[in-house]
Amino acid sequence: MRSIKMKRDLLIVFYISMILFNCSRENGLSQTSSASSDSVKSLDALDVGLATTISIHFTYEQRQGKYIYTKYCSVCHGMEGKGDGFNAFSLDPKPRDLSNEQYMKSFTDDRLVETVREGGRGVNRSPLMPSWGGRLTKDELLYVIAYVKKFAVSTDTHK
Amino acid sequence: MNKLRIYFAISSVVFLFVLAISPLKDFFSEWRGYQLAYNEIIKELPQRIQPVDIGIKQLWVRKLDVVDRCTTCHLGLKEKALVNAKEPFRSHPHIYHDFEEFGCTICHNGQGSATSYKESKGKVKYWDKPIFPREYMEASCGKCHKEQVVIQAPILSLGRKLINEYNCAGCHKLEGRQRQWVPSLNGIGSKVNRSWLVNWLKNPKAYFATAKMPNFQLSDDEANTIADFLMTFKSFSNNAILEPLPSLLIQSSESQTATLVEIGSTRLRESRCISCHPFNGKGGYVATDLGKVASKVNLRWLYNYIKNPKHFQPNVEMPRYRFNNNDLTGVVAYMNSEYVDFDMAEPPSHTPDPLYYEKGLVLVKKYNCRGCHEIENIKNSEELGPDLSFIGSKKLYEIDFGLSGISQSLSSYIFTKLKSPRTFSSKMKMPNYELSDEQAQAIAVALLGNTSEQIPEELKIKPKPASTFTPQGKFGKLVNDLACFGCHTMFGRGRLVATDLTLEASMAKQEWIDHYFKVPYSLRPILTERMPNLFLSDDEIKTLVDYMEKVFIADSLTNDILINEATVAKGKLLYSEKYGCGSCHQINGKGGFVGPTLDKVASRLQPGWILHWLKNPQAYKPESIEPNNNFTDHEAEAITAYLMTLH
């Protein structure tokens, strides 16, 4: 009789501890399954002040690329990459339209970097496109390509 | 007795379970879930990536005293294949610092030793360094990089530039910032008309949109009292006296005025005022807008000021043009007829307060006009605004958010304060600079970088000491009189509106410089900022050129170039076929408009300069956008030889 009671008590204790354990795992497994997507959402929900500036629309690379592009490239390729910079009308052949999605998609990043680094003559195109390998560092070339690729995304708003 | 045993047994079992919870909690912890998910994700990628050993990862940076466990969950920071992966596995953007060397929280803030998402972001109670929002990230660069321009942090650099431009150091203590020159108010009573002054005090941006003076949000009464007070300052510093106007400007027939205006219009264009002054928003950016100046100042002051600017504003960067009397009269007559504000609103009539002087003085002191403007007999008040040297380390509990209802973080506080300074309390005195979002953000970034964190001295990058180059003698006097430093840089001093003159004599030929002073023209027709015609005498030109030939020269840049037919032909081919120089430079009307035209380059430039310039343009002018083509010596010599045939 006594042993049955003991078993019952043990059972109660077991249940209580299970409940305790369940309560304490609030951050546990339930989050793991969808860990990555959840954290992205909550990052966006973080308070970031007034979101009207360039840093919201661009990643770090694209932002750096924008400054480089504006300084070196926009005179011919234009601020929006359409190949209509103020210097474009005196050039023949005309500067490439960088907002042409189909054309831009046919190149890998490496090839685009090579084109900027070696210039037109390095990739059997017009020598009017100078080679920027001596001026821009490896990282800067990657930045500028990251930015240039944004032109060809049709839904994007350029700021 | 038996009962006691049962209780003992029960409690031991309870303790056993309680003890088991803690390892179980650890086993099901958040970070372990991320690490397992990471190992799953990388299996699906085509690239081979080392799976992570389960366990807490920690970075310890001894020199900065930083302990960060961010890499426990941010596992793909160095994996290029994970560029587009979801957080927390995305790779870190390319930056110039290795995070293993510097840690994470030194730049990002947040709680480095935390291992859960919420705690590590630092948005928890009693942690006053929450993670930096993305648009304020560059503030962290400013902790160590104290130089004015940090190329890799453009927002920070813009902020620092704006802090100088808007003269924040006038009212706030800011480490390493000097007060900028702003016109002195001595003699303002003999300079401006009172209606303009009242309008200006009430809203400077209504007069011209790019006005630097902020809006103090004065009431009509306050503006009138300050105007009355300021109009009593009739005498200039250095006892300068206004000469009477020439009779032609006071009384002249219609035909006389027409001729005067015509002369003035020509001279005004020749002297390229527009290189520095905008006219109704169009033109240079160095000086104030002149589009409505005739409604602001009186004719007598204008005539005297153009005649000798430094006489009335000793430190102003305006050249003294060598106009003869007739030309000067014409210029003033033209400005008087052309640059009038036809829409100027007459301020409502106002009977001066009998105590206007005392009240005005109190107001001028209250708003600290002296912080920027020099005013006779008013002492330089101690910094009025709070010390901003360590604003980036301000604790949240020290900030009064008032009833603003903005989110409680330091960055949004500074941003809101800059955008509308009196949001937090109507008793605040800070004026409204009417900044755009981008400007306010940039200034906030620059301010947030001023922290009291202990950074080892050897890691700090200090600003370059300002150049103290002050030419002496006749040349020095001329440079001061012509305000050359306002546009040109010499040995590190001055602005870069125009070209750096440090190596001018090595670059250009003497005869060309000589001629250029007499008939300045623009090498790049697209530029607004062009060299003005200062109407210098032959003697003055000789002084300038002689000094330049002796001082602005480097012996290492003198090279003789062998010019023969073969090299010239080779150079021409390189110029047009291989390197496509014509995309930016013009020869015989063909080519681009980015670089200077090369039509008569042989009569302008020295061969040695061209050679060295071609090899590395940025060594001489770091801001130049000319590509560095890595020419071989032979190629550079051939192109130089070709260019030297273009007379």
In single-letter form, the type of residue at position B109 comes to N
* CA gap B353, B225 in Å, rounded: 7
Question: Taking CB atoms and an 8 Å limit, are B629 and A131 in contact across chains?
Answer: yes
User: Which pLDDT band, with edges at 50, 70 and 90, does B248 fall under?
Assistant: confident
Compute the mean pLDDT over every residue in chain A, rounded to the nearest whole number.
73
Instruction: Give whole-number Cα distances, B73 to B32, B90, B120, B389, in Å.
Output: 8, 11, 11, 35
CATH topology of domain B154-173+384-459: Immunoglobulin-like (2.60.40)
Q: What is the pLDDT of residue B343?
A: 82
Tell whether the model's pLDDT for residue A34 goes beyond 70: no
Tell whether the model's pLDDT for residue A30 goes beyond 50: no
Tell whether the model's pLDDT for residue B159 goes beyond 70: yes
Our CA-based measurement puts residue A97 at a distance from the nearest CA of chain B, in whole angstroms, of 17
By Cβ distance, the residue of A2, A59, A127 closest to B578 is A127
Our CA-based measurement puts residue A103 at a distance from the nearest CA of chain B, in whole angstroms, of 22
Query: H or E segment at B5?
Result: helix B2-27
Question: Taking CB atoms and an 8 Å limit, are B580 and A130 in contact across chains?
Answer: yes
Q: What is the pLDDT of residue B200?
A: 93
Tell whether the model's pLDDT for residue A28 goes beyond 80: no
Q: Which residues between 371 and 400 in chain B have a beta carbon less than 8 angstroms from any beta carbon of chain A?
A: none
**Angle, vertex CA B424, rays to CA B422 and CA B427, nearest 5:** 55
Q: Do domains B188-338 and B565-643 have the same CATH topology?
A: yes
By Cβ distance, the residue of B10, B25, B590 closest to A9 is B10
Per-domain residue ranges of chain B: 30-131, 154-173+384-459, 188-338, 473-553, 565-643
* CA gap B378, B609 in Å, rounded: 53
By Cβ distance, the residue of A6, A29, A42 closest to B28 is A29
* CA gap B214, B367 in Å, rounded: 11
* CA gap A59, A147 in Å, rounded: 9
Per-domain residue ranges of chain A: 55-151
Q: Which of B432, B435, B437 is nearest to B203 (CA)?
A: B432
Q: What is the pLDDT of residue A155?
A: 52
Instruction: Give whole-number Cα distances, B324 to A45, B251, B260, B320, in Å.
Output: 68, 20, 13, 12
Question: Taking CB atoms and an 8 Å limit, are A35 and B94 in contact across chains?
Answer: no
pLDDT digits (tens, 9 = 90+) for B553-611: 998 888 778 888 999 999 999 998 889 899 999 998 888 888 888 988 999 999 999 99
Mean per-residue pLDDT for B373-379? 84
Q: Which residues does chain A have within 8 Å of residue B592's beta carbon, measured at their own beta carbons? A: 76, 87, 90-91
Q: What is the pLDDT of residue A29?
A: 35
Mean per-residue pLDDT for B395-424? 86
Q: Which residues does chain B have within 8 Å of residue A50's beta carbon, measured at their own beta carbons? A: 412, 415, 437
By the CB < 8 Å criterion, does B21 face chain A?
yes
Our CA-based measurement puts residue A5 at a distance from the nearest CA of chain B, in whole angstroms, of 10
User: Which pLDDT band, with edges at 50, 70 and 90, does B16 fall under?
Assistant: very high
Residue in B with minimal Cα distance to A95: B583
Least-confidence region, from A43-52, A78-87, B140-149, B153-162: A43-52
Residues sharing a CB contact under 8 Å with residue A55, sequence separation 6 or more, in sequence order: A63, B134, B135, B137, B155, B441
Q: What is the pLDDT of residue B86?
A: 83
Residues sharing a CB contact under 8 Å with residue B409, sequence separation 6 or more, in sequence order: A47, A49, B130, B133, B396
Q: Tell me whether 0.85 is exceeded by the ipTM.
A: no
Residues sharing a CB contact under 8 Å with residue B221, sequence separation 6 or more, in sequence order: B353
Q: What is the DSSP letter of B63?
A: T
* CA gap B490, B547 in Å, rounded: 13
CATH 1.10.10.60 applies to domain A55-151: no
* CA gap B231, B224 in Å, rounded: 10
Can you read off the two tokens belonging to residue B245?
A: 């106007």
Mean per-residue pLDDT for B176-205? 90
Q: What is the pLDDT of residue A27?
A: 41
Q: Which residues between 539 and 598 in chain B have a beta carbon less than 8 angstroms from any beta carbon of chain A?
A: 577-580, 582-584, 590-594
Phi, psi of B357 (to 5 degrees): -65, -50
Residue with the two structure tokens 């003035």: B264
Residue in A with minimal Cα distance to B631: A134
By Cβ distance, the residue of B13, B87, B135 closest to A43 is B87
Q: What is the pLDDT of residue A154?
A: 59
DSSP class per residue in B397-435: GG---TT----S-HHHHHHHHHHSTTSS-TT--PPB---
**What number does CATH give the domain B473-553?**
1.10.760.10
* CA gap B563, A116 in Å, rounded: 33
Question: Taking CB atoms and an 8 Å limit, are A87 and B14 in contact across chains?
Answer: no
Mean per-residue pLDDT for B392-401? 87
Percentage with pLDDT > 70 across chain B: 99
Three-class SS state of A136: coil
Contact B210, B200 (CB under 8 A): no
Three-state SS sequence of B139-202: HHHHHHECCCCCCCCHHHHHHHHHHHHCCHHHCCCCCCCCCCCCCCCCCHHHCECHHHHHHHHH
Mark B371-406 as b/e (b = at least 16 C-beta within 10 Å): bbbbbeeeeeeebbbeebbebbebeeeeeebeebeb
Q: Which residues does chain A have within 8 Å of residue B594's beta carbon, measured at their own beta carbons? A: 75-76, 87
B218-225: long-range contacts at Cβ-Cβ below 8 A with a sequence spacing of 24 or more? B220/B347, B220/B348, B220/B350, B221/B353, B222/B363, B223/B198, B223/B347, B224/B198, B224/B347, B224/B350, B224/B352, B224/B353, B225/B353, B225/B356, B225/B359, B225/B360, B225/B363
Q: Which residues does chain B have within 8 Å of residue A16's beta carbon, measured at their own beta carbons? A: 14
Tell whether the model's pLDDT for residue A130 goes beyond 80: yes
pLDDT digits (tens, 9 = 90+) for B314-345: 889 999 999 999 999 999 999 999 998 888 87
Q: What is the pLDDT of residue B174?
A: 87
CATH topology of domain B188-338: Cytochrome Bc1 Complex; Chain D, domain 2 (1.10.760)
Our CA-based measurement puts residue B577 at a distance from the nearest CA of chain A, in whole angstroms, of 7
Mean per-residue pLDDT for A12-31? 50
User: Which pLDDT band, with edges at 50, 70 and 90, does B446 fall under?
Assistant: very high
Compute the mean pLDDT over every residue in chain B, rounded to the nearest whole number.
89
Bridge partner list, B494: B489
The size of chain B, in residues, is: 647
Q: What is the pLDDT of residue A4?
A: 60
Residue with the two structure tokens 């070696």: A118
pLDDT digits (tens, 9 = 90+) for B267-322: 998 888 998 999 988 888 888 999 999 999 999 999 999 999 999 998 899 999 99
pLDDT digits (tens, 9 = 90+) for B459-475: 888 888 888 899 999 99
Question: Taking CB atoms and an 8 Å limit, are B592 and A126 in contact across chains?
Answer: no
Contact B475, B547 (CB under 8 A): yes
User: Which pLDDT band, with edges at 50, 70 and 90, does A39 fall under?
Assistant: very low
Question: Taking CB atoms and an 8 Å limit, are B89 and A35 in contact across chains?
Answer: no
Tell whether the model's pLDDT for residue B124 goes beyond 90: no
pLDDT digits (tens, 9 = 90+) for B64-123: 888 999 999 999 888 888 888 888 888 888 888 888 889 999 999 889 888 888 888 877
Q: How many CB atoms lie within 10 A of CB B583?
A: 24
Q: Nearest 10 degrees: CA dihedral of B611, B617, B619, B622?
A: 160
Query: β-pairing, B586-587 with B489-490?
Result: unpaired
Least-confidence region, from B183-197, B218-232, B389-403, B534-548: B389-403
Percentage with pLDDT > 70 across chain A: 61
Can you read off the two tokens belonging to residue B361?
A: 């003085």
Tell whether the model's pLDDT for residue A36 goes beyond 70: no
Residues sharing a CB contact under 8 Å with residue B368, sequence separation 6 or more, in sequence order: B170, B171, B381, B384, B429
* CA gap B273, B289 in Å, rounded: 10
Can you read off the two tokens belonging to residue B272?
A: 């390229």
Q: Which residues does chain B have within 8 Å of residue A67's beta carbon, measured at their own beta carbons? A: 154
**What number does CATH give the domain B565-643?**
1.10.760.10
Question: Taking CB atoms and an 8 Å limit, are B135 and A55 in contact across chains?
Answer: yes
Q: Which residues between 143 and 162 in chain B have a beta carbon less than 8 angstroms from any beta carbon of chain A?
A: 152, 154-155
**Residue A80: left (phi > 0), alpha (psi -120 to 50), or beta?**
alpha
Q: What is the pLDDT of residue A47?
A: 37
Q: Which residues between 75 and 134 in chain B have a beta carbon less than 8 angstroms from any beta carbon of chain A?
A: 85-89, 93-96, 116-117, 121, 123, 131, 133-134
Q: What is the pLDDT of residue B548?
A: 94
Residue in A with minimal Cα distance to B580: A128
User: Which pLDDT band, with edges at 50, 70 and 90, does A40 fall under?
Assistant: very low
